[in-house]
Amino acid sequence: MTVQSDTTEHVLSDTIADVAPPRPVYRNLLTGDPVPWFHQVSTSHPNYAFSSVGGRYVLMGFFGTAGDPVVQNALAAIMANRGLFDDAKICFFGVSVDPQDREQERLKEYMPGQRHFWDFDGNVSRLYGALPTSGPLAYRRFWLLLDPTLRVLKVFPIMEDGSNLATLFAVIESLPPPERFAGVEIMAPVLYLPRVFEPEFCRKLISIYEDGDHEESGVMREIDGVTKPVHDHSFKRRRDVTIEDRELIKQLQARVIRRIVPEVKKIHNFDATRMERYIIGCYTEEDGGHFRPHRDNVTKGTAHRRFAVTINLNEDFEGGELSFPEYGPRSFKPPVGGAVVFSCALLHAVSKITRGRRYAFLPFLYDDAAAKAREANNAYLDPDMEPYKA
């Protein structure tokens, strides 16, 4: 028997010629999703913190480049409806990945309410699904409408013919006031606790402040990966006195342990075992004391903070009230010795003092696990800051 060799040519189906080209893979943000926070260069700030934007609706336009006629028509529609963007009810952010938009001044901010991000590294566009996380680079253009807590309300594609622009602006015009974005007014998730400090103890702390060394209070900023204290009077104006007396510190701790820690455990199921920062802060009328919307744990040097505590030591002042913009304009002014306790991740602000002085004790609470994280983050602190030791 003669065995013949099989000379048939077998063509494999996975040869290079037959493999489909890779497709771009995008992150998809859907209605109800919280959006990621970021820092990026903007037309108004070299390191804009998007986490501070809450408290109003936000329209974001992911268009890539203003050199495209489709995008130019979309931006013309924004300008035609400029009156909607007042920074109180709603604001607009465009997102460009094209350096020529800045070099040729094709995009400008119009205040109030209209700004742009220079996303030339593509970081924001990837986070939000306009640029792919893998595969060929292809910019996906869309409008993203956020509620005051920075969660997705709606996503609209940027259409070639602009046919959905009327729908987009109709939706914007129909939005309820920011404080009723959920359909009803909702309470900020804070603890309001009277009688934490006795009135005479409050007077003692005020006297210590008046006799102490007042230091200008700064804010913590992440600069080139390093947490640094900076002073920015347009953002915050307050003076602090640091408590050094060990016996007084024990008295402060005892009151917090007896009257605040159990409430945090009951409401949040969190065991606070550590307290940071023994300071008395003072917002004054003469300084125009205030603190613009911010969060207390958004840098590496502050990421360990879990709950903020503000205990009013007096009440003979006007302004200087604590508010939580994501949950409406309602503000809080605890009575003498009363506290407001809240998550450090909540956006909050202190309104400008219009009469007198507001004195307050202002610590942070955290636990043993957070203490380990705090010590690990010493590497990211400014060299002039004292490192933390457990």
Is 373 found in the same domain as 243?
Answer: yes
| CATH number of the domain that residue 312 is part of | 2.60.120.620
User: What's the pLDDT band for 176 if we cut at 50, 70, 90?
Assistant: very high
Asked whether residue 88 falls in the same domain as residue 197, the answer is no
For residue 305, the model assigns a pLDDT of 97
Residues 233 and 175 in one domain: no
Residue 4, pLDDT score: 45
Asked if residue 173 and residue 37 are part of one domain, the reply reads: yes
165, 195: one domain: no
319 torsion bin: left (phi>0), alpha (psi -120 to 50), beta (else): left
Model confidence pLDDT, tens digit, residues 183-223 = 999 999 999 999 999 999 999 999 999 999 999 999 988 88
Q: What is the pLDDT of residues 249-281, one digit of tens each?
A: 999 999 999 999 999 999 999 999 999 999 999
Amino acid 5: pLDDT:
41
pLDDT in tens, 99-113: 999 999 999 999 999
The whole-number pLDDT of residue 18 equals 56
332: pLDDT strictly greater than 70 = yes
What pLDDT sits at residue 216?
95
pLDDT of residue 389: 62
Q: How far is CA 208 from CA 164, 359, 362, in A?
A: 62, 11, 15
Q: Which helix (H) or strand (E) holds 265?
A: helix 261-268
Is 242 inside a domain boundary?
yes
Q: How confident is the model at residue 13 (pLDDT cuts 50, 70, 90)?
A: very low
Query: What CATH number is associated with residue 129?
Result: 3.40.30.10
What is the residue-wise DSSP string for 316-362? --BS--EE-GGG-S-EE---TT-EEEEETTS-EEEPPP-BSEEEEE-
Peptide bond into 112 cis (omega under 30): yes
Residue 321: domain span? 191-380
